[in-house]
Amino acid sequence: MDDIHRSPDVSRAMRANLPVVALESTVITHGLPRPQNLQLARDMERAVRDEGATAATVAFLDGQLHIGLNENELERLANEKEPHKVGPRDFATVIVEEACGGTTVAGTMLACKHAGIKVFATGGIGGVHRESSFDVSADLQALATIPMIVVCAGAKAILDLPATLEYLETMNVPVVGFGTDNFPAFYSRESGLDVSVKIDTPEDVVEFARAHWVARLHSAVLVANPVPTGEAISKSEMEPLIEKASKEAKEKGIHGQEVTPFLLQRINELTKGKSMRANLSLLLNNARLAAQIARAWRTSERRKVA
């Protein structure tokens, strides 16, 4: 893509070969209510900066892809009345309509591919839906085809986690448990499912990713970082609530891109706000880890040149 607007901070960091972390924006446009969405966007950027990296929130404004937003642009995005939810298939739509929108995991990864950013932090990836094995998030295809490091808290717990992990295995996407052998389930630290490998430091994540790509594999490295212990909700507490919310979605005829926002909102209501607190906590935790990995990546780049 030629028509990419990089913020001055992102442009400076990339010219100087400094660490940059991409942040998705559907959490701002579709994931959280106002004003929590704007506060979260600011807090995630601050978490990245506090760890010595430059934050690059990715979004579309007036049909132009932005890599990095200033304060006015963040506020505008957070308060857009009808923003698009932008995956890769939607790029042409928002460009032609000169529209605004938040990029999904897959949309952000595509933007990073064009912009040359190697590290990305999100909350939870999309995957295979419980209601239909044919409903598969474009996030999985992006992970299978775009070589970058993606930090998440596992897949969203509302999904079919075993099927999601099977898909990732089939597409040669390594799932790295950061300090854990167990795949996290978004709100919960454990799902009962294994990761591909356990790694304990940002530097070792970078070494692993380099080895993966040296082997001529072109998939992402997915780093699964459990939600902090203090905000975690047990799987046994969450599962009945997820089942209840999923049943309600089916009864209401909610489908497609509307399913995930409905389920997350309903689960927040059923947990009396606990799931929202867990969500905010894991997002900030992932932003911090991604910044540490981005720093380790740049350090390894400099050593390679030397």
Catalytic residue IDs = 24, 156
- Please provide the size of the chain in residues: 306
The CA-atom distances, in angstroms, between 157 and each of 144, 243, 306 are 21, 11, 44
Task: Please measure the distance between the N-terminal and C-terminal CA atoms of the chain and give it in whole angstroms.
Answer: 32
Pull the structure tokens for residue 160.
Answer: 């079919």
Residue with tokens 């380099």: 210
What angle, 0 to 180 degrees and rounded to 10, lies between the N-to-C axes of helices 274-305 and 36-50?
30
Residue with tokens 């990836």: 125
Tell me if residue 61 falls in helix, strand or coil.
strand
Is residue 65 a contact partner of residue 5, using CB atoms and an 8 Å limit?
yes
The CA-atom distances, in angstroms, between 169 and each of 13, 25, 35, 130 are 34, 27, 38, 18
Is residue 209 a contact partner of residue 112, using CB atoms and an 8 Å limit?
no
Give Cβ neighbours of residue 111 (< 8 Å, ≥ 6 apart): 4, 22, 58, 65, 67, 103
